[in-house]
Structure 1
Amino acid sequence: MERDPSRVVAFSDAVIAIAVTLLVLEIRPPQDTRHLVHGLATLWPSYLAYVVTFMLIGQVWANHHVMFDQIRIADRMVLFLNTVLLMDIAFLPFAASVLAQAFRDGQGQRSAVVFHGIAFELAAMLFNAIWEYARRHRRLLVTTMDSAGARAISRRFRLALTWIATGTLLGALLPALGVAVIAAFIPFYWLPIRGEIAETKPRRDGGGQA
């Protein structure tokens, strides 16, 4: 049975929107308003966890659209893998809260960075699983996707696995360095994938889905 992936994308957008909204709810205002500036300043771990996690989830959202721009059919396996991906994304606000709390308390920072990193590593693994499954079953992809474009997307998604894993491992030794490595992933991953625009334009011009 052939399923239009537009509903998958719409549902995924909703879950991701809720996840990023929940992030800010984890930042609690200072109780001591007599020293409000100091209290706000001491919340820097919450701000850091919020910004890093929000931008990483934003990357998940952007690249999810890149991936499903090239998937024209969502079979049961795609639906299942995408559901597990969304389950992991919904868990990320909790991982961010754990990270912020550990840095505020000055204890458990190594475990918190590893915990946060593993949550994003799982998202990267699921991304790769969805794409590689669709790539192996070419009938699921748009007809405008050629082998070079498919390999370009695969390389970008596989890079996420290595980069986040490296930051997670470094975080087990030096928590601040681990966070810095994962944060450095943000500006790089927002760069467009080679062939991304060229491959999606013909589909829109031909009356396909955006």
Structure 2
Amino acid sequence: MAFGVERKPARLVAFSDAVFAISITLLVLEIHPPQDTRHLAHGLAELWPSYLAYALTFLLIGQVWANHHVMFDHLRGVDRVVLLLNTLLLMTIAFLPFAASVLAAAFRDGHGQRTAVVFYGIALGVAASLFNAIWEYARRDHRLLASTVDPAGERAISRRFRVAPFWIAAGVVLGALLPALGVAVITALIPFYWLPIAGEMSRSKRGRAGRSDGREEWPEGGRGDL
């Protein structure tokens, strides 16, 4: 049973898209041009930690945005709990540009790198945990799920989403010892979470899609959509 009045998710998704877009745009504002233009090439090269933090965080936020759509594509409605959890998720996403600037400054100055990686990883870990909390709450007893996903699809999506907090935690632990390795582990999330989720679409919907476009229906456990 939903907690409070159940609403369509369209407005929540639109608001979330706006927060994702603003947060991802703010990242570039953390890259400041060199003060000494007499040695501009050298100064631009020295900004490599800012470029790295920008690219890493841009792709990570983009990944959360893409999977946020995957999740809400399978929800028929949202209630007060989902609204609260999603608000907390967006609050964490909006914090990531600051965490990225801390990471870049530490690698640029050569001090505090372990702390910066742990700080950055914790921010990502909180976002990943809130993301999972939304999905697990919505799918419990099928309280808010749409007919686009069957039990096998639910499990496939849950398995994919649950990996992130543990993966990030591993990056945090390694980053506390070897900062560069921690960043590398967190970076490895990017290609993994852009992969399609095999078994995401319900069997009935896969069948309708196969009949409508003339292609063969894929068996359960076969190819899925992002």
Provide TM-score, normalisation by structure 1.
Answer: 0.93
In 2, Cα distance between the equivalents of 1:154 and 1:71?
14
Q: Which residue of 2 aligns with 1:12?
A: 16
Q: Does 1:115 align with 2:127?
A: no
Equivalent of 1:64 in 26, 48, 68: 68
Instruction: After TM superposition, list the pairs within 5 Å mapping 1:152-167 onto structure 2.
Output: 152-167=156-171
Q: Does 1:149 align with 2:153?
A: yes
Gaps of 5+ in 2: 210-226
In 1, Cα distance between the equivalents of 2:110 and 2:15?
38
Instruction: Tell me if structure 2 keeps the 8 A contact 1:69–1:200.
Output: no
In 1, Cα distance between the equivalents of 2:171 and 2:178?
10
Moved more, 189-198 or 147-156: 189-198
Question: For 2:143, what is the secondary structure of its paired residue?
Answer: helix
Q: State the 1:198 CA deviation.
A: 5.6
Equivalent of 2:44 in 40, 46, 56: 40
- Report how many aligned residue pairs link the two structures: 204
Equivalent of 1:101 in 105, 109, 117: 105
Structure whose alpha-carbon radius of gyration is higher:
2
Instruction: Tell me if structure 2 keeps the 8 A contact 1:66–1:196.
Output: no
In 2, Cα distance between the equivalents of 1:201 and 1:91?
38
Provide TM-score, normalisation by structure 2.
Answer: 0.87
Gaps of 5+ in 1: 206-210
In 1, Cα distance between the equivalents of 2:11 and 2:181?
39
In 2, Cα distance between the equivalents of 1:166 and 1:199?
35
Question: For 1:28, what is the secondary structure of its paired residue?
Answer: coil
Q: State the 1:145 CA deviation.
A: 1.6
Q: State the 1:185 CA deviation.
A: 1.3
Question: For 2:83, what is the secondary structure of its paired residue?
Answer: helix
Equivalent of 2:27 in 20, 23, 26: 23
**Alignment RMSD:** 1.6
Deviation digits for residues 134-155 of structure 1, max 9, x if unmatched?
1104131002321110011110
> Structure 1's 87 and 44: CA in aligned 2 closer, same or farther, altered over 3 A?
same
Question: For 1:144, what is the secondary structure of its paired residue?
Answer: coil
Percent identity, aligned pairs only? 75
Structure richer in helix, relative to its length: 1
Equivalent of 2:139 in 126, 135, 140: 135
Segments of 4+ moved more than 4 angstroms: 197-202
Deviation digits for residues 9-36 of structure 1, max 9, x if unmatched?
0000000000000000000000100100
